[in-house]
Chain A
Amino acid sequence: MNRCIERLYNGIVKENPTFVMLIGMCPTLAVTTSAINGIGMGLSTTLVLVFSNLLISLLRKIIPDSARVPGFIVIVASLVTIVQFLLEGYVPSLYASLGIYIPLIVVNCIILGRAESYASKNPVLPSIFDGIGMGLGFTVALTCIGAVREILGAGQLFGFQILPLADAAAGKAGFTPVTIFVLAPGAFFVLAMLIAIQNAYREARRKKGLPVKERSGCFAGDCASCHNGTCTGRVFTVGTDEDEKDKE
């Protein structure tokens, strides 16, 4: 049981996919225009992640190594399709505001990354908790980023006006929303600040001689450190043997 709790802590705090590892950034930037969108995207991803970890862990001894990545992709894509239908049926407003980013959960680095590096090597129960931990970590991060953007950009939180708006015509003093933060450029600025804060924190830790976790993913600067099979462009193993022979 300890191992399960350790997995939850690991996903939410120690290896938080967004704040610590900086992976899965495309949806992070695209959907965090409001806190509620962040929660919706985070929970959808969590659902996919938990079930993909469960299925992949169950099938880890059955799927042959050479067909590993295509197998994972089919499992993840099927789960994403199911989630897409659930959202379309039960939360149509969220479905409309998330748009194509729901099917794009398939290519989210976090899911295939966890499948490759954890679920395909570990028993079922810890894999499920790994999925829950990572998913909640992602949800928390998206909600925080969404909340920051919503407050700065509209003075709202979860759709409620929390900062009174200025009204020049009525001569009322108040908050003037920085609309750019809910638009596309704001996402880049918020992420830039996030990375800068993280860099400063890592630098401070390094000076104290404390260990600093290696970054993986897109912002580490090289694609080789990525666990995502779709990123390397080598999903199928067909032809790679021949390539090896060519080299020899």
Chain B
Amino acid sequence: MAAAALTSQLNALVNNMFAMGLLDDQFQQLQMLQDSTAPDFVSEVVTLFCDDGERIICELSRQLEKPNVDFDRVDSYVHQLKGSSASVGAQKVKNTCIQFREFCQQRSRDGCLKTLDLVRTEFYDLRNKFQAMLQLEQQIQACYPKH
């Protein structure tokens, strides 16, 4: 019973993430790729995304703090984040990355900093939800005895 409740909670969470535009179809692709050969695929990718995203955001703020900002480098990082978020279906983060890159191209440090804040907010918001999601999954799995 507990498992069913948890499952519906999980579904509600994921649906809510879709509804808020945090996620897009790509996330469903991930779910589709999870099969018996890769049973934990989604949680692995999501975990990796959370770690990697955090790393990139730290790197970005460090780059932007420098007196002479290397915008090309910043752009590369943003591009990486964009790729990552596109891969997991993190739609909002991805879209913000697109804006971010525009500021990079304009060589606008202020613009970049502002967008970085935005990206950060969105990313952590998403990360929290992902973590909640993973937690629920773990709890659900724990409900079933291991075979």
Report if A and B associate in a common complex.
no
Q: Which B residues contact A (CB, under 8 angstroms)? A: none
Interface residues of A (CB under 8 A from B): none
